[in-house]
Amino acid sequence: MVYLFWAQLIFWVILCIYTYDLIRKNQSLNKRLEVIQSSLNTQTAEQVSLENREAKQ
Amino acid sequence: MRILLGLTFFSMIASIYSVFIYAPTEQIMGHVQRIFYFHMGTVWVATIAFIMVFISSIQYLRKESRRWDKLAYSSAELGVLFITLTIITGSIWAKPVWGTWWTWDPQLTTTFILWILYIVYMILRSAAGDDAKKAKFAAVFGIIAFLDLPLVYISARMMRGISPVVFGPGGGGIAPEMMIALLVTLLAFTLLFIVLLKQRIDIEDLKDRISSIRLEEGI
Amino acid sequence: MRKIFTILWKDIVTELRTKELLSAMFTFSLIILLIFNFAFSFSSEYLKFATPAILWVTFTFAGILGLGRSFAIEKEGNSILGLLLTPVDRSLLYFGKLISNLVFVFIVELITLALFVLFFNYSIFHAILPLSFVIILGTLGFVSVGTLFSAIAINTKLREVLLPILLFPIIIPVIVSSVKLTASVLEGNSVFSAGSAIHILVSFDIIFIAACAIIFEYVLEES
């Protein structure tokens, strides 16, 4: 019974740590992707507005 | 994806239920025998993972597409995880049943060498340098390691004479309820493997996308 | 066939010019024998059980030293490109390298064996023919994979350090069956009396020489 308990405990702990790590990595990568994309978007937006202004002048 | 997650969750619950409540207690070993189901589940997933490493390594060498490499890498990592779990649960099972944490029985020896081989696979990847090298060297090692396994098993058998039957609860007959519990567990673990594999590949995809954007924009 | 010979000849000539690899391997095997001598205080009956293990540990360790350097000259001189540009089938390159590695390892093994007989006062002459048969098969096994992995290891960040880690887990069947065969041969039995050991050894050689010859070109592309 004690052995069963420990086997289960260790199994679930390791599995949960791994899964948690996967999810955490996934989220942080997603966030980074968003940051990069949004910074690209603002850059292009600034460029577009700059070009528009130049065109008006 | 959502359906798959739900299915996995549900079948894991079913597996836990059938392992702890539905399956009868084994007469000789008692409750300890219930470790066996999860032990088999992990070794089953590890086997699938390593077969996938082998197949995708061959495919990578033939086609050189990143997809196959990601698949091989992700499966190898999951394989290492699950074979580690196999060894731990097996060891805890062996202590009360055989009276020792570890013996150099052919199956154990082969599992141990399998574990080492795929840890070496990970070391090779981290030491290889750029992505193309990583993928190609790892693929080569994955193929060679897999081809080696049958010979490792045979030579481990030869060293110890003929092995006793280890798998199967107590080596005896198996009750139908136990069989069902085992099958449910295998199904649940297979689903779990698919979910984890997909998550793992997603991570590699994200990394690729980020680095390709960086490359394009020169950030 | 002549192309294999050319690669072989190139390696042998380069080695003969400096002799650094052979002397390093040879000295290393001498040191291993010395350490074994100190590690066990040998009585002659104990020696009988330890001999196969001592021999194969010495062979593989000294062998790996040589294998680790087998692509080093090409790597440092960037002449792998030269090898690749020669209009030769890539698997022939593998066989050229395989044979030149085999030659070096065999030379070292021969000297080691002689020294072993000398130092440990242990006669092997009653079984010299089957023993050399076993040694040839075993060496073929670990050098075949070793040649492929040497080309991999030299192109990684860890260089030669990686080679033993890659190679030893793979060649466990070779070591197990060679040790077993050596023990049985030294007792005066034939090579077929040690159960399936000879089958394991021969199948390992066939499987991995074929597999490595096919795979070798993919490794060269990345160097």
Alpha-carbon Rg of chain C, whole angstroms?
Answer: 18
Please report residues of B whose CB lies closer than 8 A to that of C198: none
Name the residue facing B35 among A4, A36, A37 (closest C-beta).
A4
Q: Provide the β-strand partners of residue B30.
A: B26
CA proximity to B158, closest of C198, C44, C113: C198
Q: Are the beta carbons of A37 and B214 separated by less than 8 Å?
A: no
Cα–Cα dist C67/C138, whole Å = 15
Q: Which of C208, C218, C221 should one mutate to test binding to chain B, selecting the residue with the greatest count of B CBs within 10 A?
A: C218
Instruction: Report which residue type is found at C34.
Output: L
Report the complex ipTM. 0.89
Residue of A nearest to B33 (CA): A4
| Mean pLDDT to the nearest integer, B70-94 | 93
Counting other chains too, the contacts that C4-9 makes at CB distance below 8 Å and 24 or more residues apart are C4/C92, C4/C95, C4/C96, C4/C99, C5/C96, C6/C96, C7/C83, C7/C92, C7/C93, C7/C96, C7/C97, C7/C100, C8/C96, C8/C99, C8/C100, C8/C103
Q: Residue C106: its pLDDT value, please?
A: 93
pLDDT at B213 over 80: yes
Cα–Cα dist B108/B40, whole Å = 13
Q: Are the beta carbons of B140 and C152 separated by less than 8 Å?
A: yes
Please report residues of C whose CB lies closer than 8 A to that of B127: 156-158, 162
Q: Residue B219: its pLDDT value, please?
A: 59
- Residues 13..52 of A with a Cβ closer than 8 Å to B: which? 14-15, 18-19, 22-23, 25-26, 29-30, 32-33, 36-37, 40
Report DSSP state, residue C161.
Answer: G
Q: How many CA atoms lie within 13 A of B148 on its CB side?
A: 28
List all chains that touch chain A, counting a touch as 3 or more CB pairs closer than 8 Å: B
Report DSSP state, residue B18.
Answer: I
Residue of A nearest to B29 (CA): A1
Per-residue confidence band for B162, with pLDDT thresholds at 50, 70 and 90: very low
Q: Is B29 on the interface with A (CB under 8 A)?
A: no
- Residues 67..106 of B with a Cβ closer than 8 Å to C: which? none
Per-residue confidence band for B157, with pLDDT thresholds at 50, 70 and 90: confident
Cα–Cα dist C116/C33, whole Å = 7
What number of other Cβ atoms are within 10 A of residue B209's Cβ?
14
SS3 at position C188: coil
pLDDT one-digit tens code per residue, B93-133: 888 888 888 888 888 889 999 999 999 999 999 998 888 88
pLDDT at B167 over 60: no
Q: Are the beta carbons of B143 and C215 separated by less than 8 Å?
A: yes
pLDDT at B33 over 90: no
Please report residues of B whose CB lies closer than 8 A to that of C208: 144, 147
- Percent of chain B past pLDDT 70, that is, above it, reads 92
> Is there an interface between C and A (3+ Cβ pairs < 8 A)?
no
* Domain boundaries defined on chain B: 2-19+35-164+178-217
pLDDT at B168 over 60: no
Q: How far apart are the first and last CA of chain C?
A: 25
Alpha-carbon Rg of chain B, whole angstroms?
Answer: 20
Angle at C192 between CA C188 and CA C193, to 5 degrees: 55
Q: How many angstroms separate the CA of residue C167 from the nearest CA in chain B?
A: 10
Q: Is B209 on the interface with A (CB under 8 A)?
A: yes
Distance of CA B61 to CAs B137, B141, C149, Å? Answer: 10, 11, 16
Structure tokens at B207: 């990394």
Name the residue facing B155 among C157, C177, C207 (closest C-beta).
C177
Per-residue pLDDT of chain C (223 residues; tens, 9 = 90+): 777 777 778 777 877 776 788 888 899 999 998 888 887 776 666 777 888 999 999 999 999 988 888 887 777 777 777 777 777 777 888 888 899 899 989 999 999 999 888 888 777 888 889 999 999 999 999 999 999 999 999 888 888 889 999 999 999 999 999 999 998 888 888 777 777 889 999 999 999 999 999 999 888 887 6
More confident residue, B33 or C154: C154
Instruction: Report which residue type is found at A24.
Output: R
More confident residue, B215 or C179: C179
More confident residue, B58 or C194: B58
- Exposed, middle or buried: residue C194 (CB in 10 Å: 0-12, 13-18, 19+)? buried
Contact C132, C114 (CB under 8 A): no
Structure tokens at C136: 């040839």
| Mean pLDDT to the nearest integer, B56-73 | 93
Q: Is B150 on the interface with C (CB under 8 A)?
A: no
More confident residue, B164 or A14: A14
Phi, psi of C188 (to 5 degrees): 95, 5
Q: Are the beta carbons of B206 and A26 separated by less than 8 Å?
A: yes
Instruction: Report which residue type is found at C146.
Output: G
Per-residue confidence band for B200, with pLDDT thresholds at 50, 70 and 90: very high
Q: How many angstroms separate the CA of residue B62 from the nearest CA in chain C?
A: 9
Cα–Cα dist B69/B201, whole Å = 10
Distance of CA C222 to CAs B128, C30, C128, C159, C216, Å? Answer: 10, 36, 42, 14, 11
Residue of A nearest to B30 (CA): A1
Q: Residue C159: its pLDDT value, please?
A: 82
Q: Residue B163: its pLDDT value, please?
A: 42
CA proximity to C162, closest of B75, B121, B78, B74: B121
Residue of C nearest to B138 (CA): C152
Angle at C188 between CA C182 and CA C192, to 5 degrees: 65
Report DSSP state, residue B218.
Answer: T
Q: Are the beta carbons of C155 and B129 separated by less than 8 Å?
A: yes
